[in-house]
Each structure stands twice: as C-alpha cells, then as structure tokens.
Amino acid sequence: MAKVEVTMPKMGESITEGTVIVWHKEIGDEVELDETLLEIGTDKVDTEVPSPAAGVLTEILVEEGDTVEVGTVIAMLETEPEAAADAPAADAPDAADEPAEPEDTEAETEEVAEVPEPEAKPAGEGRVEVVMPKMGESITEGTVIAWFKEVGDEVEQDETLLEIGTDKVDTEVPSPAAGVLQEILVEEGDTVEVGTVIAVLGSEAAATAAAPAPDTESAAEPDTEPADVPEPAAPSGDGTAREPVPAGGGEIERRGSDGRFYSPLVRSIAETEGLSMAELESIDGSGREGRVTKEDVLSYLETREEQPAAPQPGAAPEPTQAPAQAVKEGAGYDGRVEVIKMDRMRQIIADHMVRSKSTSAHVTSFSEVDVTNLVNLRERNKKAFQEREGVKLTYTPFFAKAAVDALRDHPVLNASVDGDEIILKKDFHIGIAVAIGKKGLVAPVIRDAGQKNLIGLTRAAADLAERARNKQLQPDELQGGTFTITNIGTLGSLMGTPIINQPQVAILATGAIKKRPVVIEHPDLGDTIAIRHMMYVSLSYDHRIIDGSMGASFLQTFGNALESLDPDGEL
C-alpha cells in the first residue's frame, strides 16, 4: 500500500494559484487512474483534474472555494489497498485456513516484499504506472516523440518525463509521482492507444531489487550498448529470440549492425513494404541519437526508386551519411548545400496545407481598413485594462469580435462542405493562429466566440496563445474551429494570401497597421489629406461555395465594425 499526493497543478507559467471549484469524489471513494477528482479554476480557465493513480481517496486537504498556491498538496490517495490486503494469502498458501487479521496485513506484506523475487510483489506496491494520457475526446492514440528521462533516473512529481504527439499537437507529459524510472515500455517513435502503460515508476529500493529480474529487458538501456557487441540472436519485441535476417527481405532485426534500435512500428512498416535490413540501415534517422522514425521510413519509401541499390551482404558498411549524399547527388544539387530534415510540426503543416489546396478552390480578396479609432481606443484603455483584468489588451480580440459580426451577416463563411452539401455552423468557434517561435503555426480555437464580450475574448485569446507557446494545449483545443484569423501584421507583413484551415471555408489575415497619408471626407472641409492608421486585410475563401461578391461584402462588414469604434470609449 502506497500513499500518493494530489497537488494543485501548474496551469501555465504566469499562474501561481488555483481555486477548488468542486470535488467530484468523496473520502473513501475508489478512483481510477485519470478519473476526474475535482475541478479547479484560475483567473483564466476552469479545468478538471484527473487522478494521478488508481486507489482510494483518503484525505481532502483543501475545501471547495479555497484558493491555494501551485504545488500545494490538496488530497491523498492510497493505491491498491485491496491488492495489498490480498497479497499475503496468495503468497502464503500454508496460511490459507487461518483468517488474516486486518492489523497484520501490513506486516505480512512487508515480509513478502523482502523475498528476492520482484515478480511476486503485489502489483501496486511501490510501483506507479505511467499511461498514455487522453488528450481529448476524439484522440485515441499518441506517439512518443522523446523521453527526457532514462531508466534509473530519479524524477520528481510533475517533472517532465517525455514528450508525446498527435496529429494536432505535441505535449510534454509530467510524472504522476516522485520516484525512480524503472521501466520504459514504449520506445520513441512508437504509436500506442490511450491508456496503454508506457513506463513504470518505483522507489529507489524497488528499482534496485527489480534490476536482476529476467523480464526487465524493456527496462534496459539499449542505446548504451557498444555497437561492436555481437548479437547472434537479438530479442524481438515479444522477448523471444530471433535469428538474424540477411539483406534482401524478410524479418527485420530489433537492432542493426551499427547498434541502432528499430522500434516495433518501424520494423512492421519495413517488413510490410519489403525493405531489407540493409535498406533500413541505409536510412538516415531523424530521431533521438539517430534513430529511424516512422516518418523517416515513409519518406524513404516515397523516393525509393531514386535511391541507389542497397549494399550486398558482406560488403563494408557505408557511413550513415553516404545514402543521404547519394540522394543529394541524384537530386541534382550543386555547390554548397545543406539538407535539413523537416521536424514533426513542419511535416504536419506541410500535409495540411497541401491537402487544403487540393480540396478547396482558393480565391483571395483584399480590402483596406482605417483603424485609427481602434488604435486610439486601445491606447486610451490598455494600461487600465491590464491593471484591472490582468491581461494585455491586444488587437486580436477586436478582430475576433468584428469577424463574428461579419459572420452573422454572412453565414456561409461559417460553414464546411460535405460532398454536395453545405453545413452551416450556428456557433462561432474562432481559430487564432499563433506562431511557435520559428517552427511553425498552430491555431487554437476560441469556443463560442459569439457569446463572449471583448473581455472574454481577450482572456481566451491570451490563455490559448500562452499555452500554445508552452506546449500545454490539448488536441481538442486545435480542432472544431469554424473560421480562422491569422494576424500576420504582428510579424510585419502588410498583406498575405493565407491557406484555408480545413474543413473550414474561409480564413482572414490582418496585416500590419501603418500610418499613411490618405484622403478623407471631412464634414466641414470636404476632401482633405490626413495621417491615418491603415491596415490591409485579406480573405481567402473556398470558391466552390463563396463568390467574390460575398467575399467583398464580408470584408466591408468587417472593416465597418472596426471603423465605427468610439475612440473615446471605455472598456
């Protein structure tokens, strides 16, 4: 039986405290791993907190309505109490006729733990399983991108263990408890279903005791073995011995002649596609320590016909850079060049953009907006707004509100296409493009933007942008959008032709705000030249269902909403 602390989680770099809104469990209730324990709130977002382990809720230390600092222990769990109580009977058959006294349970459990047979220990004693987390209702699997800890490393609770990815977002996974990383059960590059056990944590003593166990191959550090150690019969993923397969097809070894490890997913793809071991070894790996990932194999298969012939058995192995050099020469590169492998985010963006261009008939319309009133209104209110609301007042929420106003008048732009049917969306879920350094863009979604006022839009946009840059978004927060805004002006661009975020049918780009002399109609002076804050906006839309007249009308409505703002108003 082990105690697990539940702490107030960290909800972002700027969040230092949280408030318990409601407990979903009571003392004495049994809880499953990742089952919702309580709901907490900050000044930016409310969220449910999952249980870090399976067990019984024994203590609630913070009442509903209380606000405490991040890291504060708010509850205690006891893990696997029934398993601990039943363990002595299972391990001591000669005492089966004698009913065990409750007070002797812990003593008997300790005696069993001292037997030098780790596999006989109760399943929950001193061990915490790390599972592939659920990252949204529609997400059923995840891919291990990188482990930040190795077997034998000590980890603190909430310290980052690994990074996982879906087709929407990459996220760092914190440790559910403090201890020692005993086993890593899923290798980098492997994709597994939500709920799959991917690692095991335990106490330092438990890790030491488990070290000589015969079934701990998965906990070994395969990458630390010297490349020249002979492996006449490398173990397969199921623990059985497998004879080496010569080049030319057949089964793929778990480890190559150069010592590189190949994950089960990579081996499966290679065997299915008829790759030889020699071909697999010729692929440059973009993963950690040069490992070959799923994307590496798929990229190789796409250009396989252009690749040089695989080396024959017995031939001296070429350096790992030779195949890449052959590809470069085959592609006709001349002079000084550098070939850089696309990272995961870039590959996802590339796939989405190509798919969008092949799906929608893109047309882009442009307009010019006088945002002088907007600039003056923001300058007048931004200091007091930040002091009162705790977030910066940016232009983004004004753009979002004006876009919602225009979408109400042009509902076909808040739609999707399914065959020959147009699906009009009654709710306005606005995606806001956020730059992640120089790596790329993501577009987290402000849900129900049509029901939020300017303050609500400001809070939502600031929260999503911050968590996007800190890899704290959930996949569900990147999907379900009905319309997207990308503020390219923050990067200095005057205008652009953005690509539609499928399955949406339109995307709006707002350019940089610049002072320029323009002709305006003065009520007393007539036409006159004045210095105004001007901004170009562009709308890319799906010409299958949206014509140029409707695109222009949308831009006019959007511009009017911004130009009609009261520069002397209070927010």
The predicted structure's pLDDT at residue 450 = 95
Calpha distance 54→30 (Å, rounded): 8
- The total of structural domains in the chain comes to 1
User: Per the domain annotation, does 454 fall within a domain?
Assistant: yes
Bond preceding residue 319 cis, omega within 30 of 0: no
What's the mean pLDDT in 412-428?
Answer: 96
Residue 134, amino acid: K
Written as one string, the DSSP assignment of 94-139 is GGTTSPPPGGGHHHHHHHHHTSS-GGGS-TTTTEEEEE----STT-
Bond preceding residue 503 cis, omega within 30 of 0: yes
* Cβ(237)–Cβ(254) below 8 Å: yes
User: Per the domain annotation, does 366 fall within a domain?
Assistant: yes
User: Per the domain annotation, does 480 fall within a domain?
Assistant: yes
Q: Work out the angle between the directed axes of helices 454-469 and 372-389 (0-180°, nearest 10).
A: 80
Any idea which residue has 């996974």 for tokens?
173
Calpha distance 34→195 (Å, rounded): 9
Label residue 200 by pLDDT band (50, 70, 90).
very high
Residue 437 phi, psi dihedral angles, 5° rounding:
55, -130
Range of the domain at 365: 360-563
Residue 134 has pLDDT above 80, yes or no: no
Any idea which residue has 């490349």 for tokens?
227
Residue 71 has pLDDT above 50, yes or no: yes
* Cβ(464)–Cβ(507) below 8 Å: no
Q: What does the DSSP 8-state code read for residue 261? A: B
Residue 242 has pLDDT above 60, yes or no: no
What's the mean pLDDT in 382-395?
Answer: 94
Residue 386 has pLDDT above 50, yes or no: yes
CA 40 remoteness from chain centre = 22
Calpha distance 432→450 (Å, rounded): 14
370 is catalytic: no
29, 351, 547, 566: the active-site residue: 547
For the chain, the 3-state helix, strand and coil shares in percent, each to the nearest 5, are 30, 25, 45
43, 543, 566, 568: the active-site residue: 543
The predicted structure's pLDDT at residue 342 = 85
pLDDT digits (tens, 9 = 90+) for 142-166: 888 889 888 889 999 888 888 888 7
The predicted structure's pLDDT at residue 12 = 55
CATH number at residue 531: 3.30.559.10
Residue 115 phi, psi dihedral angles, 5° rounding:
-70, 130
User: Per the domain annotation, does 499 fall within a domain?
Assistant: yes
Between 42-46, 484-488, 564-568, the lowest mean confidence (pLDDT) is in 42-46
Q: Whole-model pTM?
A: 0.52
pLDDT digits (tens, 9 = 90+) for 312-344: 444 444 444 444 444 444 466 778 888 888 877
The predicted structure's pLDDT at residue 228 = 41
Label residue 246 by pLDDT band (50, 70, 90).
very low
The predicted structure's pLDDT at residue 215 = 43
* Cβ(275)–Cβ(265) below 8 Å: no
429 is catalytic: no
Between 16-20, 213-217, 340-344, 446-450, the lowest mean confidence (pLDDT) is in 213-217
The predicted structure's pLDDT at residue 544 = 96
Calpha distance 193→427 (Å, rounded): 31
